[in-house]
Structure 1
Amino acid sequence: MTPSPLWSADNPPRQGLGLMRLRDPEPGGAREPDRDPVAVVHAALDQGVTLLDTAEMYGNEELVGRTIAGRRDEVLLCTKFGVVWGDGGDWSVRADAATVVRSCDTSLQRLGVDVIDLYYLHHRSDETPIEETVGAMADLVAAGKVRAIGLSNVTVEDVRRADAVHHVTALQEQWSLVANAAEAFLPVLKELGITLVAHSPLGHGQLSGDDTPSALRAALAGPAARLEVPTGQVALAWVHHQQRRHDQAVVPLPGATSISHVRANVAAASISLTDDELAILDAVRS
């Protein structure tokens, strides 16, 4: 299967759009043009954001499929499998080979596409060896149902074991000024040529509102004033700067449910922070 022309190891997407909260309006509810899900996704595509990220767990694959209808060739479509909701609202992980195949087929149907560009294991399994899971994912690549495979919520050892079965294109982990777990993976990602997709770069909203820790808020205020931008854009720009600082491919994946937020996130990718500003932000990270 030919790799997606929208992604290469040397030229990954600059920024993605996380679609976890993308939903149709409630029946009978007010339709806000700024929050229309189709308009939100199309605004991202119009701004050059090609990577769209959803998951079986999010329950919105059919909606995502409708939003990209007619523009499929502009999209690097990512979805995930393995996390299953229970009747009581709890969740469990299923990553055996049969589940991999079944989940992929149902995701393809819901999304209304012939191939998934990047297919992630959403969460590691304590029961199924990762070699079995990735072996089944590799079979999907060979069958032309998937172009590339990714991992999320795994360990460094998992990454090595998985990549020994089939090359892992991307690892998705949280990275922001308030979450640093992704940094433990940087050496192995660089060694194996794996892109880091940094989800929740705004700390699940913590860095774009009143919940920002006081020391960080003060550190963000300086560059925000200099650039005349909101502090949330500076926080997102910090994640963008990590690619240069670590010589590691990093794709920030902010979520957005409005056109205005999409545009603000895209603008953050062009912000240039000084070395002194980066050092100050590093010093007050929580």
Structure 2
Amino acid sequence: MPTRRIGPFEVSAIGLGCMSLSHAYGSPPPRERAEAVLLGALDAGYTFFDTAAVYGLGHNETLVGEVLGPHRDRFVLASKCGITDAAGVQRGIDGRPETLKALCEVSLRRLQTDVIDIYYLHRWDRRVPIEDSVGALADLVRAGKIRAIGLSEVSAATLRRAHATHPITALQTEYSPWTRNPEIAVLDACRELGVGFVAFSPVGRGFLAGAAHDPSRLEDSDFRKTMPRWQGAALEQNLQLYARFKAIADEAGCTPAQLCLAWLLARDPIIVPIPGTTNPDHMREDAAAAEVALSPELAARVDAVVNGQTVTGSRYPPALQASVDTELMPTEAAA
């Protein structure tokens, strides 16, 4: 697979988001299938794996550590802290320095490694100055427990404050044709500061890949059932949008998921998307997107069809939106 740079790291142009193997999209897959996804990803050329303490409350880090630990020298490892307590067993945003440092020790044990390559503050705890939380992560860099600091779901202004405390290597947030919030200010700030941008949910949480179009068939534990874009009239309008998007993918000779990923890769060389999946075939399909040559004309048509004005429904329900520090699209601000 082609590679890109995130700070000092050379990584596959497409990374693997590991969340769905443990968390958020219904019941986790059987262990043997999760192993097939992770080990198959190594064979397919993925060299960037992304997990977090909150995914399955430790299950995902443990899974990644057990399955990929013997191959630790073959990939760049990213994890995240700040949405669990210091033991990593109870949900709740906590960015206090002592919590982040304690949780890093837990993550290192679960991941079966001596060092985490990129360690993100998963959410900014607004009760704690960002400088204090990043300062704690900087202490972990100096102690050799992590190699670089990342931030997740923060605004351009918060990124600049954090970067002034210690260089930030990567910023991670949702980005796809139907979620354009990073285009407001964050991508410009990343370019200015030399920060890599990691795009999670790059296929619209599966919607733009042609999946999860009927929320009644989703498990109750699948959090897409609560998201505004899957509700009522919004869903119907977004399904019409998807049909137009799929027609562009057909014309490009690729799958809709591959069109999302190729579109992101064409936007800027600082962008590394990290799609997730529980299906080994979909994992290989995503990897092949790195070889899709998307013409400027087709990319422009994607922009015209799917964008912040044509998608119906806000990105998150209100309670979840309150936990993130990102710029809002005009339609979200009015919601």
Match of 2:15 in 1: 16
Q: How far apart in 2 are the matches of 1:48 and 1:8?
A: 20
Match of 1:42 in 2: 39
Q: Is the 8 A contact 2:178 2:204 kept in 1?
A: yes
For each residue in 1:121-164, what CA deviation from the matched residue of structure 2 results, as whole angstroms up to 9, or x when unmatched? 00011100010001110010000000001000112111001100
Question: Is structure 2 residue 257 aligned with structure 1 residue 236?
Answer: no
Question: Is structure 2 residue 49 aligned with structure 1 residue 52?
Answer: yes
Q: 1:242 to 1:98 in 2, by over 3 A?
A: same
Q: How far apart in 2 are the matches of 1:148 and 1:193?
A: 13
Match of 1:262 in 2: 283
Amino acid at match of 2:265: H
Runs of 4 or more above 6 Å deviation: none
TM-score (norm 2): 0.74
Q: Is the 8 A contact 1:150 1:172 kept in 2?
A: yes
Question: Is structure 2 residue 107 aligned with structure 1 residue 103?
Answer: no
Amino acid at match of 1:157: A
Match of 2:322 in 1: none
Aligned-pair CA distance for 1:9 = 5.3
Match of 2:182 in 1: 182
For the residue of structure 2 that corresponds to 1:71, the secondary structure is helix
Q: How far apart in 1 are the matches of 2:30 and 2:272?
A: 31
Q: Is the 8 A contact 1:216 1:281 kept in 2?
A: no
Match of 1:74 in 2: 74
Match of 1:172 in 2: 172
Q: 1:90 to 1:271 in 2, by over 3 A?
A: same
User: Structure 2 stretches of 5 or more lacking a match?
Assistant: 214-237, 312-335
Amino acid at match of 2:13: R
For the residue of structure 2 that corresponds to 1:171, the secondary structure is strand
Q: 1:10 to 1:52 in 2, by over 3 A?
A: closer
1:139-158 alignment runs, 5 A limit:
139-158=139-158
Q: Is the 8 A contact 1:16 1:253 kept in 2?
A: yes
Match of 1:3 in 2: none
Amino acid at match of 2:303: D
Match of 1:114 in 2: 114
For the residue of structure 2 that corresponds to 1:117, the secondary structure is strand
Q: 1:70 to 1:10 in 2, by over 3 A?
A: closer
Aligned-pair CA distance for 1:23 = 4.0
For the residue of structure 2 that corresponds to 1:269, the secondary structure is helix
Q: How far apart in 1 are the matches of 2:240 and 2:109?
A: 46
Amino acid at match of 1:126: R
For each residue in 1:66-114, what CA deviation from the matched residue of structure 2 results, as whole angstroms up to 9, or x when unmatched? 11122000121110000028xxx99421011101110100100111110
Aligned-pair CA distance for 1:280 = 1.0
Q: Is the 8 A contact 2:21 2:29 kept in 1?
A: no
Match of 2:206 in 1: 205
Q: How far apart in 1 are the matches of 2:276 and 2:6?
A: 20
Q: How far apart in 1 are the matches of 2:29 and 2:142?
A: 45
Amino acid at match of 2:275: P
Question: Is structure 2 residue 304 aligned with structure 1 residue 283?
Answer: yes
Aligned-pair CA distance for 1:270 = 1.1
TM-score (norm 1): 0.87
Amino acid at match of 1:233: Q
Q: Is the 8 A contact 1:217 1:231 kept in 2?
A: no
Aligned-pair CA distance for 1:221 = 1.3
Q: Is the 8 A contact 1:216 1:284 kept in 2?
A: no
Q: Is the 8 A contact 2:17 2:276 kept in 1?
A: yes
Aligned-CA RMSD value? 2.4
For the residue of structure 1 that corresponds to 2:106, the secondary structure is helix
